[in-house]
Chain A
Amino acid sequence: MNRIFAIITGLFLIIFSGNVQSQDLDALLNAETKPTVDFATATFKSTRIINGHSVEQMKKNQLEFRISHRFGTLNNGPYGLFGLDQSVIHFSLEYGLKDWLMVGAGRGSTNKTYDGFAKVRLLRQSSGEKFMPVHLSYFTSLELITLKFPARPAGTSNYFSSRLAYVSQLLIARKFNQNLSVQITPTYIHRNLVKTELDQNDIFALGGGARYKLSKRLSVNAEYFYTYNPNAKFLEPRTYNACSVGVDIETGGHVFQIMLTNSQGMREGSFIPQTTGNWLDGDIHLGFNISRVFAFNKK
């Protein structure tokens, strides 16, 4: 009985090993490789498309130092060196607490504004084992204007809360292919205090942005914020929708973004409701963002 069993086992092994041998090792490996979820990465090169946030996050333990400038308007002509005589600055430190959560704090010279923000990734575009058509993130920020209050009539007072503005955005983006990524950005901004009774405290806007890669390290970007309830046209200064075009240039640890825009402010609370430049009048600001990333990973 034992002998018969051994023979059968032996025969079985020979047949079995013969079968396996005829299979290609590559095919075996393919079968052993788990199906993966392929996330769309590098939808944009930077955490900003131009002025507004993109769905990109600082990854965990990565710190970014950003400096942005917007010069005066090109229609200053040669006397003002096409706006270069004047510039506003915004700088910030931005950090990834988790791969899906980043926070940042900055200061802009427009209205001497301090700001703090958080951006949370809710969904990631993916294919393969799990299909998700878009990236979805939520962005929120608080802006604190520290410009001195103008003199008030006697008997009235200023409040700290008057200096605050709140921004909420949904960032919805899709990387259509290696080169083209598109984002739409529904935006709500609340300003506690506005200039006159006719100015809007609550602003509703829809942003649209896209990038197209010309090469691995160069892309062209465009961005537009349409405001549903802008200030009345007769209010001075008149406001316009923010519109920007630019290029991203990547050089290892840096990304340079160079743009033309009709906004001089660099925070949502300023460039969305308070863009006073009109492209058609040549109120176009040259500007750039520079960022440097530092890694604080243990390993």
Chain B
Amino acid sequence: MLGASLGAIGQGKFISKNAYISFYSSTPLEDILGESNEAVTILNAETGEIAFQALMTTFHFKRALMEEHFNENYMESTKFPKAKFNGKIEGYNSSMLNGPVSDIKVTGILSVHGVEKTLTIPAKLGLEDGKLVGSSKFKVTPENYGIKIPSLVRDKIGKEMEVTVKAYYAPFGQ
């Protein structure tokens, strides 16, 4: 029993199957917000490794046409169905999981539209009402991931997208 309760936090793995990911761009002409509540993520409490996966088709928009263009014209979701992130928390120690939410940094590889880039992103991790929560806000530039935006709609789509991530983790295998 003692072993099992120790295993709950500080070792083992944590998972969230309905993590929130959104991206947002704002221009005077149009605001674009795509949101998914179906991303999956795992955090390895022993090594501080963290991984995310999201199916492009789980992102939803206010305008149905935006969603169609997102999948058809920009992300090419049939060719590249998933976005992934595999990274590691910098200076990780397991106390980060037991304390209140505090700032951390995560370095890893973000794979979007078949293009991989190494990023270091600011994030927050810790306990919120007894639940392990991880969140992050960072910017990505679509052009860096081979996503071409034609001049015709250039004014409507921001140069940078603000990505927001939030996940409530539960012990893996429960």
Q: Do A and B assemble together?
A: yes
Q: Interface on A for B, CB 8 Å cutoff?
A: 6, 9-10, 13, 17, 20-21, 25-26, 28-30, 32-33, 36, 38, 41-42, 58-60, 62, 96, 178, 216-217, 250-253, 293, 295, 297, 299
Q: Nearest chain A CB to B57's CB is how many angstroms away? A: 7
Q: Which of A21, A36, A38, A62 contacts B64 (CB 8 A)?
A: A62
Min C-beta distance of B63 to chain A, whole Å: 4
Report Cα–Cα, A293/B41, bound state, in Å: 36
Q: Count B-side interface residues using an 8 Å CB cutoff.
A: 41
Query: Within 8 Å CB of B12, what residues of A?
Result: 17, 20
B62 contact set on A, CB distance < 8 A = 295, 297, 299
Q: What are 28 of the A-B contact pairs (CB < 8 Å)? A: A10-B3, A13-B7, A17-B11, A17-B12, A17-B46, A21-B47, A25-B44, A25-B49, A25-B86, A26-B84, A26-B86, A28-B51, A29-B42, A29-B52, A29-B53, A30-B53, A32-B17, A38-B78, A42-B71, A62-B63, A62-B64, A216-B72, A216-B73, A217-B73, A252-B156, A253-B65, A293-B63, A295-B64
Q: Which residues of B contact A38 (CB under 8 A)?
A: 57, 78, 81
Contact with A along B125-155 (1 / 0, CB 8 A): 0000000000000000000000000101100
Q: Which residue of B lies closest to A295 (CB)?
A: B63
Contact with A along B23-66 (1 / 0, CB 8 A): 00000000000000000111010110111110101000011110
Contact string, B81-110, partner A, CB cutoff 8 A, digits 1/0?
100101000000000000000000000000
Q: How far is the CB of A77 from chain B (nearest CB, A)?
A: 35
CA A128 to CA B105, docked complex, whole Å: 37
Name A249's closest neighbour in chain B (CB-CB).
B152
Tell me the bound Cα distance from A85 to B138 in angstroms: 56
Contact A9/B3 with A41-B68, A252-B152, A293-B65 known, Cβ cut-off 8 Å? yes
Contact between chains at A33 and B63 (CB < 8 Å): no
Q: Given A6-B2, A13-B7 in contact, is the A178-B78 Cβ separation under 8 Å?
A: yes
Q: How far is B69's CA from A252's CA once the two chains are assembled, in angstroms?
A: 8
Contacts A25-B42, A26-B84, A216-B73 hold; do A32 and B65 have CB atoms under 8 A apart?
Answer: no
Q: Classify the interface of chain A: helix, strand, loop or mixed.
A: mixed
The answer to whether B42 touches A28 (Cβ under 8 A) is: yes
Check A33–B40 contact: CB distance below 8 A: yes
Report the separation of the CA atoms of residues A79 and B41 in the bound assembly, to the nearest whole angstrom: 69
CB of B166 closer than 8 Å to a CB of A:
no
Whole-angstrom CA separation of A293 from B65 in the bound complex: 8
Task: State whether B64 touches A59 (Cβ < 8 A).
Answer: yes
Inside 8 A of A217's CB, which chain B residues have their CB? 73, 150
Q: Besides the contacts A13-B4, A42-B71, what 18 more A-B pairs have beta carbons closer than 8 Å?
A: A6-B2, A9-B3, A13-B3, A17-B7, A20-B12, A25-B49, A25-B51, A26-B51, A33-B53, A36-B55, A41-B68, A62-B63, A217-B150, A250-B69, A252-B156, A253-B63, A295-B63, A295-B65
Q: Which of B40, B47, B57, B153 contacts A29 (CB 8 A)?
A: B40
Give the shortest distance, in Å, between A217 (CB) and chain B (any CB): 7
B-chain residues with CB within 8 Å of residue A96 when the two chains form the complex: 64
